[in-house]
Structure 1
Amino acid sequence: MDLLIAQIFSIAKRMWKFRWYGVVVAWLVGVISAVAVLLMPDRFEASARIYVDTQSILKPLMSGLTVQPNVEQQVVMLSRTLISRPNVEKLVRMADLDLKSQSKSEQEATIDRVTKALSIQSTARDNLYTLAYRDKDPETAKRVVQSFVSIFVESSLGASRKDTATAATFINEQIKNYEAKLEEAEGRLKAFRLRNIELTASDGKDSASRLAEMAAQLDRARLELREAENARDAAEQQLDGAGTRGGGAAMPNLLPDSSVGNIATPEIDGRIDAQKRNLDGLLQRYTDEHPDVVGVRKLIKDLEEQKRKEVAELRKAAQAAPAQPGAGNTAQQEIMRMLAASKVQVASLRARVQEYSSRYGAALNAMKTSPQLEAEAAQLNRDYAIHKKNYEDLVARRESAAISGELDVASGVADFRLIDPPRASDKPVAPNRILLLAGAMLISLAAGVFTTFVACQLRPVFLDAAELRNRTELPILGVVSALVNPSERRRDKVDLIRFCVAALGLVGAYAAGMTAMAILLAKHVG
């Protein structure tokens, strides 16, 4: 630290040797800077304040029917991008600033100057925007701000309508594309259904479900066939037994309980089977409480009750017939009638079993290709559903966009209110000569100090033996001291006074200039 302080003092002593160079340079820079500041032209500022009202009573009422854009964000983005080259070129033409520009370079210079002089200040919370412009002529500045306000309002309206038209055009193009896709999907689905119409089920079941249903029907038909064959065999046995014992004797237990229990009612059984199949189909689509399901179950219950009554009557008649004397022929005729009915039922059930067997075989063979067909049908249905949904959404959005455009035309994107009309200031707002003079004084003083530092570096001087020995790395044999007489002391004192007067004179001149400038400004304001 001591070494650093010693070096600073050493540099200051060497700079003191060239102090008059610094004073001269400081005065030259100070005079030039002061003249430049005083010759700078006055600049007047014109400004206008605009309030942007983004609230509208129609928009809450139309919520859900129209697209609600973020108007505040649009206005903020517009304010940030308003000072662009196309807008500035338009502004230059509107304010007649291009009348004095003849060449292309002058026009470019005018555009650059206007771009730098324009400014937009906003308070985003209050939606207040201040448009300002500075120029040497207050009337020109006012005219530029008026044109700037017009461009600000027109740009917002034009951008909104342009966005609405662009969105409507895009949506219409997409609707046309999806109409073509939807028609193509409908054509493929129609061709597939016509090509595989025999495999298309009206109940919406897949091939596995239809195959399981056919297997259940086949098993049920086979069971009914075995029951009918057992009833037929029992009737034949009873008829054979009655023939061996003779027709005139009474035949007790002509029809045992096992045969009586196998009494068949083909008509009622067929109706019950049909209703059960209908019930299975309804349960695939509806719940148990659906009126159609409840009605079918009640009908099945009534048919089963009717079947029980007929079987009971036939059993009662069969059991009562042997108790009557001389009723052998009658019982035998009844057995023959029942045998004939059993044979008819067996033949009918065999035909049903054969039909179900052929259907089951055909469905089993179709299972080899049905998964591929079902996958293709599912893909076609999925593509059709997607295109249809997108088409309907686009149509709804088109209607919403149309209503939004009409809403914007009716209520406007935002309400632009001119709070303060364009007005130019009476006094110049720039340049701030007091501040510039203070800066010029500091620059001149810095230039003087820098000159002395450069001079001492260009013409170095060693002030003591230690510094000389450290710089040259040579031994010092001796030092000759200078004797200062009183006349030299007086000369040095006069020189110091002159230096102080010159330096303080520069500072005093600047202080007097800034004071006079402040007084003139105060009088102008008063």
Structure 2
Amino acid sequence: MSVDFFYIAQLARACLRELWLHRYGALAGGFLVGIAVLVFGMFWQEKYTVSSSLYADRQNIIAPLLKDRAQVTKVEDQIQLVKDLMLSNRILEKIVQSDSFAMQGLTPAKLSAVSSGIRSKVNIRSLGKNYISVSYSDVNPDRAYSVVTQLVDLFIQESSDNKRSESRQAFLFIDKQVSSYKDQLRQAEQRLKEFNASNLDGSESRVMGSIENLRKTIADLELDLGQANERVASLSAQVDQEDRYLTRKARADEYRDRIADAVTQLDELKLSYTDMHPDVIALADHIQALRNAAASSSASASGSNSGIGGVENPVYDELRGALASAKVEKNTITKRLRSLRSRLVEERQRAKRISERDAELAELTRDYSVTKGLYEDLLERKEQARLSMTLDIEGQGVSFKIQEPAKYPQFASGLRYVHFVILGIVAAVVVPIGLIVVFIFLDPRIRFSNVIEGEFDVSLLGEIPHLVSSPIQRMRKMDVRLFILMFVACSAVYCSAAFMYLLWG
């Protein structure tokens, strides 16, 4: 985009021409604008800003020495929390009621309004890591300095008091919890002690060992009982086969020998003949007759009180003694087995009781362990809280320090009266020129040659300059002198007014 310097030059000449044509109006308008700005500056209240900076000390000398033993009160990282405490109603009301404002005896509504006004003028911002800036602006430098000083002092005091109060409240709360858990621990110990005193069944491992031993013993006794039964049966059979007297025994032995010989002959015949052979049949009948004779002889002999000769058989007496001993042993094993089985049932019932009570014991032990762990943890926390409270009371926990104290303001901040004096001069020049420029753009008359070529599509051959005659030139010189005189007079009036207010205002 090219800049049309010719058009700019024409516009500048047109502005100068219009300014000269309206020179007295432009001078009067500029003078009035300058005076208006100057008067506004006279009534403008200069503001004085006082600032102070705080340092949030995160490195405490005693903190490394008490690491993991006490909680040193930390500085909050969020600037909003600092604003909430510093701009709280409690601190602002103390400042309003101080000597800097001299507003004692205000109604609550008025006190709240003044506090809100102070709050809106206080600026709290972060200057970087661990640094906080506090500034306040007021038309009264003494009040601005007093407000910032009191804000910082009251903030540090309130912060310290809050930390001490929090530490004390935490210590009292933990101490109350320690007492409560101490009572609960004593109750848990008493319940566990009473449970152990009322349950004498022993441990589950001992009962299971006893049950296992009883099972092995019962198994061994059952084997012994089986052997004893077999022995009794065997001895009973031998006693039944043995004769009580020797005579009966001899006759029985005779029949037994003859039967054995006959059976041997029968076996030899069967090797040669069939069962239907007459000799085999005859020999079989003979064997049966011998057996019948032996049986009838034994029956007749047992029915009588004594046999022929009446001599006792010692083998028979020995077998009967052994049978009696075997029966005694069998009865002993049976009784012992019955007793052990009864004990096994009792041990199983005891194991069942122990299993049921182990669940209750586990619950009591778990409650005791949990309560003991919490109690010991609270004891440790109580000691930490006590040390933290001591640190805050001694001032070791206070972390905010005044890095740069407030300084009394020597000059006002922002726009001052001098700025309005300069601004009035600039406005007196700029406003008339601006109005002339607007007038040129809004005036429908044709002022530039390129406008004729553009609108009527014709070629401009040349421009005829305005000729000024000698009388008109003399009048212009007089107008110039008069304008310069009026300009000097307006400037003198403006400067005098500005200087006089600067001296006596």
Question: TM-score range, shorter-chain basis?
Answer: 0.5 to 0.7
User: Which TM-score applies when normalising by structure 1?
Assistant: 0.53
Aligned residues of 2:48 and 2:144 also touching (Cα < 8 A):
yes
Q: Share of identical aligned residues, percent?
A: 18
Aligned to 1:424, the other structure's residue is in SS state coil
Number of the residue aligned with 1:229: 225
Aligned to 1:97, the other structure's residue is in SS state coil
Count of matched residue pairs: 410
Deviations 1:149-177, CA, capped at 9 Å, x for gaps: 43132112111122224434554676688
Aligned to 2:71, the other structure's residue is in SS state coil
Aligned residues of 1:24 and 1:448 also touching (Cα < 8 A):
no
Q: Distance in 1 between matches of 2:62 and 2:212?
A: 65
Aligned to 1:61, the other structure's residue is in SS state helix
Aligned residues of 1:45 and 1:141 also touching (Cα < 8 A):
yes
Number of the residue aligned with 2:151: 148
Number of the residue aligned with 1:87: 91
Aligned residues of 2:224 and 2:333 also touching (Cα < 8 A):
yes
Aligned to 2:73, the other structure's residue is in SS state coil
Q: Distance in 2 between matches of 1:174 and 1:426?
A: 58
Alignment of 1:121-136 (within 5 A): 125=129, 133-136=136-139
Gaps of 5+ in 2: 245-313
Amino acid at match of 2:40: A
Deviations 1:67-104, CA, capped at 9 Å, x for gaps: 23323648994367413443222122224313499788
Q: CA deviation at 1:413?
A: 1.7
Number of the residue aligned with 1:344: 332
Q: Distance in 2 between matches of 1:179 and 1:440?
A: 82
Q: Distance in 2 between matches of 1:352 and 1:226?
A: 11
Aligned residues of 1:232 and 1:343 also touching (Cα < 8 A):
no
Deviates more, 1:428-437 or 1:82-91: 428-437
Aligned residues of 2:232 and 2:326 also touching (Cα < 8 A):
no
Q: CA deviation at 1:63?
A: 2.8
Deviations 1:103-158, CA, capped at 9 Å, x for gaps: 88876675455445545576555x56665555555544444444334313211211
Q: Distance in 1 between matches of 2:185 and 2:445?
A: 97
Q: Distance in 2 between matches of 1:171 and 1:388?
A: 15
Amino acid at match of 1:486: L
Gaps of 5+ in 1: 248-325, 521-526
Number of the residue aligned with 2:384: 400
Q: Distance in 2 between matches of 1:57 and 1:396?
A: 23
Aligned residues of 1:120 and 1:132 also touching (Cα < 8 A):
yes
User: Which TM-score applies when normalising by structure 2?
Assistant: 0.54
Q: Distance in 2 between matches of 1:376 and 1:420?
A: 68
Aligned residues of 1:134 and 1:141 also touching (Cα < 8 A):
yes
Aligned residues of 1:101 and 1:110 also touching (Cα < 8 A):
no
Alignment of 1:42-441 (within 5 A): 53-71=57-75, 73=77, 77-78=81-82, 81-99=85-103, 110-111=114-115, 114-115=118-119, 117-119=121-123, 125=129, 133-168=136-171, 170-171=173-174, 203=203, 220=216, 222-236=218-232, 239-240=235-236, 340-356=328-344, 389-390=373-374, 393-394=377-378, 396-414=380-398, 423-428=407-412, 431=415
The yes-or-no answer on 1:33 pairing with 2:17 is no
Aligned residues of 2:453 and 2:459 also touching (Cα < 8 A):
no
